Amino acid sequence: METDVGNILLGGKQKYYVPVSEHLFAVLRDPLRDILPDDAKYENCFDRFEYFFALIYADMKAKQNQHFWGPIGRFGWKASRSFDKTIIKEIENESSEAKDSWPPLLAGLFDGSFKHFLEVKTAFDGIIGKLGWW
């Protein structure tokens, strides 16, 4: 659905799996070039932001007893191609190494709990893994 709506809203010129995400990625590139001049670092930061945003959104929905879901952007499409070489795996490795002393948890995300983070991440990653259209 996001594919159809995104392509319509963006003029139908884009034929992407995640057109809104791709559009934001392109639009934000130049304004952030001074901060992140390296294209590979920019891409990594963008994917990291989108993945965290999706996890936090899904966690928030679950806490409100609503449907567990988060917006899937470029990171999801990339995961379908090579799960072990994505921001998803990078964040998994970082968090597993630091556990409750991981900076996002120290900042209060996911109730500051590594266990809770893993529950959210596992459930959300399961959603990504089931997307057959990728």
In tens, the pLDDT along 106-127 reads: 999 999 999 999 999 999 999 9
pLDDT-derived band at 17 (thresholds 50, 70, 90) equals: confident
Burial class of residue 75 (count of CB atoms within 10 Å of its CB; 0-12, 13-18, 19+): buried
| Residue 81: inside a domain | yes
Q: What is the pTM of this model?
A: 0.86
**Does residue 34 lie in a domain region?**
no
Q: Which amino acid is at 63?
A: K
Q: Which pLDDT score, from 0 to 100, does residue 112 have?
A: 97
Judging by beta carbons within 10 Å of its beta carbon (0-12, 13-18, 19+), is residue 19 exposed, middle or buried? Answer: buried
CA-to-CA distance for 10 and 23, rounded, in angstroms?
8
Q: Specify if 118 maps to a domain.
A: yes
Please state at what angle helix 114-129 crosses helix 87-98, rounded to 10 degrees.
Answer: 160
Q: Tell whether 14 is covered by a domain.
A: no
Q: Does the CA dihedral 12-18-22-24 come out positive or negative?
A: positive
Note whether residue 32 is domain-resident.
Answer: no
Total of domains in the chain = 1
Q: Determine, yes or no, domain membership for 31.
A: no
Give 51's contacts (C-beta < 8 A, 6+ positions apart). Answer: 73, 75, 87, 88, 91
- For residue 9, tell me if it sits in a domain: no
pLDDT digits (tens, 9 = 90+) for 48-82: 999 999 999 999 999 999 999 999 999 998 887 77
- Asked if the structure places residue 116 within a domain, the reply is yes
Full domain range(s) for residue 112: 39-129
- What percentage of the chain's residues is helix, strand, coil (to nearest 5)? 70, 0, 30
